[in-house]
Amino acid sequence: MSAPMMDPQPEKQACPCAKAAAASMKASCTDGMVRIAGGDFTMGSDVFYREERPARRATAPDFWIDSHPVTNAQFAAFVEATGYVTLAEREPDPALYPDADPALLRPGSLVFTQPQSRVGLGDYRQWWAYVPGASWRRPQGPDSDLAGLADHPVVHVSFADASAYAAWAGKSLPNEIEWEYAARGGIDGAVYPWGDEFAPDGMPMANTWQGEFPWRNSALDGFERTSPVRSFPPNGYGLYDVAGNVWEWTVTPYGHPPGVAETKSCCIPSTGSGMADVRNVVKGGSHLCAPAYCLRYRPAARQGQTLDTSTSHIGFRCIVRA
């Protein structure tokens, strides 16, 4: 659960990531971005989840896109420059959450909490918890911080938070067509951004869940939570983390092609506020996606995410349209 939009107020304590990131920022807003030449491609899939159907031809324009998700260091530079306060750091409005436990009406965000034993997969509340004090600065809760996470993707950002950063940087958030076209890396119709085999020659290509979700993660790829950007090979366009690590916001409202029934998000909970029915598409899957539960670390995969929700596995990247 996250609070409604309010005018940002600066927080007095500056993040330790900010100074280094601000010093390295350059004048051109396309620094660190990759230019994508537009074209036609096969969008969606007829093979996996029904919200991806039907596979159809789509056309993407020319644009620039961040080579990796926005990091904690980059987001910290934005916060230090503007005094922006994210949705997870603001006091919730009780009027928007009439059924909420008053004890939970405090600033916070949704954090993945790994069960200690096997649980059924029908109720995500067994592994997601609203944690007061959790935010992008404190991704696991009030006792955590960003030590060693400067180059990890920023998380606990709502759609408004991501949009505010993009506007400050002179950029935009991508739409679903742009994001999926870029993620495919020039390989039209492949299952993954690198081809049809998940781990070619046994090599992990993305930060995903290995083991029995949600209680046992073998971390064969080397990471139990988020990973530093560029930890895995880029796709054919030179883009990192377009599969796994963190889901990424788009500006596309969540809907389905004609004749496709509504489907419930399997692994991205909602806060249940007055904006719970307003969703945008998120893409790419995350480090919590597992084959037996959420095989969505693929370009075609998509989920709907409520705009006023932040979690420990959703981030974003930006584009500049040509």
Tens-digit pLDDT profile for residues 146-157? 999 999 999 999
Query: What digits encode the pLDDT tens for the residues 134-147?
Result: 999 999 999 999 99
**Residues spanned by the domain of 250:** 1-322
In a structure prediction context, what are the per-residue pLDDT tens digits for the chain, which is 322 residues long?
443 333 333 333 445 455 545 444 434 689 999 999 999 999 999 999 999 999 999 999 999 999 999 999 999 999 999 999 999 999 988 887 788 888 778 999 999 999 999 999 989 899 999 999 999 999 999 999 999 999 999 999 999 999 999 999 999 999 999 999 999 999 999 999 999 999 999 999 999 999 999 999 999 999 999 999 999 999 999 999 999 999 999 999 998 654 455 555 566 776 554 445 789 999 999 999 999 999 999 999 999 999 999 999 999 999 999 8
pLDDT at 5: 33
| H or E element at residue 65 | strand 63-66
Contacts of 134 (CB under 8 A, 6+ apart): 88, 108, 109, 110, 111, 140, 141, 142, 144, 156, 312
Number of structural domains found in the chain: 1
The DSSP bridge partners found for residue 128 are 112
The CA–CA distances, whole Å, from 246 to 4, 109, 223 equal 23, 16, 13
Measured distance CA(286)–CA(112) in Å, rounded:
12
In whole angstroms, how far apart are CA 35 and each of 32, 89, 252, 300? 10, 34, 21, 21
Cis amide leading into 54 (omega within 30) = yes
User: What is the DSSP secondary-structure string of 192-245?
Assistant: BTTBS-SSGGG---SB---SSTTT----TTS-SS---TTSS---TTS---SSBS
Q: Quote the DSSP letter at residue 248.
A: E
Q: Indicate which CATH number applies to the domain containing 65.
A: 3.90.1580.10
Q: State the residue for tokens 């750091």.
A: 89
Q: In degrees, to the nearest 5, what angle opens at C-alpha 307 toward C-alphas 10 and 5?
A: 35
Stated as kind and residue range, the H or E segment containing 39 is: strand 39-43
d(CA 168, CA 204): 35
Kindly state the helix (H) or strand (E) to which residue 182 belongs, with its residue range. helix 176-184
